[in-house]
Amino acid sequence: MNRFLRACRRETVDRPPVWVMRQAGRYLPEYRELRHRAGDFLTMCRTPSIAAEATLQPIRRFGLDAAIVFSDILTPLVPMGVELSFSPAPHIANPVRCAGDLDRLRPPAPWRGTEFLDEALALVSASLDDDTALLGFCGAPWTLASYLVEGTTSRSFTRVKSFALHEPEVFDRLVDTLADAMADYLRTQVEHGAQAVQIFDSWVGALAIEDARRWALRPARRLLAATAGLGVPRIYYAHGGAHLLHDLADLPCEVIGLDWRVDLGRAALALPGHALQGNLDPGALMGPDDEIRRRTLAMLAAAPRRGYIANLGHGITPEVPVHGMEAFVRTVQGYRYE
């Protein structure tokens, strides 16, 4: 079994496995070239050979321990009736603002309309060696709901919070619908070659603890309960989740992904039953290589020795120079547990 899957199961490894959220992306010249040829981002996602190529680009360049299939957390909303475009920020032309809008969402079961992702997974799976794990992913119910209600990326989340506060039962129904749909979607990904899955709760950090419990963690548990039987490790990524460590401790998943606002050593004490993933500030990759190496080694020293996956604390940004990514990855790859 490869390093990544062993670390998810908290088994011993020679060094931490490493991959990077949003590793296929605009900081890579070969990605920009592929994107230019494809025309637009959704076309890339919907063309299995192009999605597979984008998935493999960072693997070829850096020899990472995991490949994450190229898509977006919002693409599975399209077969549910959501009118989605990217420019490059996501835009939803028909946001969900009331019970009637929710009733118009069509959860496709069995999953239909994202067959391109299944094909991309199969293509990638066929060209990866056994040392590299293949990851599927989805958005967490709260994060998807925030896009569905706001219609785009939000700073203040006023619309979605207003919805949840004024119509709590309808909002519960929205996040439950999303949890059930994403459970089916992940099952399909595993059937087509995903060996582990990550659930991105990118906006859980916008919530007070009480609200996070009801609006984010409750439906995340529902999604995790429905995927427990898949037999693959599940990573719950809690961006901005430092205030939620206590609540994450009994979340029924194998790995918790954290950002840079958390000390990994303390997180390991708070989350004894989970493997951890993270958490270098992506902004650190804008610095000189020596400083990137120093910070990466400090992160590895703070992290638990078993059950740890090296990553950034959030997606790599388009401005990061390739040598910055290189300095990060090579430092982890050169590290050895005695």
Cβ 103 to ligand CP3, closest distance in Å?
25
Q: Which tokens is 94 given?
A: 């028909």
- Between residue 43 and residue 102, which ones bind ligand CP3 under the rule CB under 6 A? 68, 70-74, 86, 88-90
> Which stretch of DSSP H or E encloses residue 115?
helix 115-127
Query: Which residue, 1, 7, 109, 86, is CA-closest to 332?
Result: 7
Rounded to a whole number of angstroms, the minimum distance from the CB of residue 197 to ligand CP3 is 11
AA identity, residue 249: A
Report helix, strand or coil for 63.
coil
User: Would you say 55 or 296 has its CB closer to ligand CP3?
Assistant: 55
Site string for ligand CP3, 138-177 (x = CB under 6 A): ---------------x------------------------
**104 is an active site residue:** no
Nearer to ligand CP3, 71 or 177 (CB): 71
22 catalytic residue (yes or no): yes
Q: Torsion angle, CA of 42/43/45/48, rounded to 10 degrees?
A: 170
- Please provide the DSSP assignment of 220-265 as one string: HHHHHHHHGGG-S-EEEEETT-GGGHHHHTT-SSSEEE--TTS-HH
Torsions phi, psi of 137, nearest 5? -160, 165
Question: Total residues contacting ligand CP3 (rule CB under 6 A)?
Answer: 25
Dist CA 100 CA 83 (whole Å): 16
Q: Does 200 bind ligand CP3 (CB under 6 A)?
A: yes
Listed in sequence order, the residues at least 6 apart from 337 whose beta carbon sits closer than 8 Å to its beta carbon are: 12, 13, 14, 15, 305
Q: Of 150 and 304, which CB lies nearer to ligand CP3 in the complex structure? A: 150
Q: Of these, 4, 27, 41, 142, which contacts ligand CP3 (CB under 6 A)?
A: 41
**Residue 111 touches ligand CP3, criterion: CB under 6 A:** no
35 is catalytic: yes
Q: Which of 10, 72, 101, 335 is catalytic?
A: 72
- 239 near ligand CP3, rule: CB under 6 A: yes
Tell me the window of 15-23, 105-113, 291-299, 303-311 that interacts with ligand CP3 (CB under 6 A): 15-23
Catalytic site includes residue 14: no
Contact range with ligand CP3 by CB under 6 A, out of 16-24, 124-132, 277-285, 330-338? 16-24
Cβ proximity to ligand CP3: between 195 and 202 the closer is 202
Given 10, 15, 26, 261, the catalytic residue: 26
Q: Is there binding between residue 134 and ligand CP3 (CB under 6 A)?
A: no
Question: Which residues lie closer than 8 Å to 30 by C-beta, 6 or more apart?
Answer: 57, 61
Catalytic residue among 31, 147, 236, 237: 147
Cα(first)–Cα(last) distance of the chain, in Å?
Answer: 20
DSSP letters spanning 200-221: EETTGGGS-HHHIIIIIIHHHH
The reply to whether 35 sits near ligand CP3 by the rule CB under 6 A is yes
Whether 72 is catalytic = yes
The answer to whether the CB of 173 falls within 8 A of the CB of 149 is no
Catalytic site positions: 22, 26, 35, 72, 147
Q: Which residues contribute to the site for ligand CP3 (CB under 6 A)?
A: 21-26, 35, 41, 68, 70-74, 86, 88-90, 137, 153, 200, 202, 239, 314-315
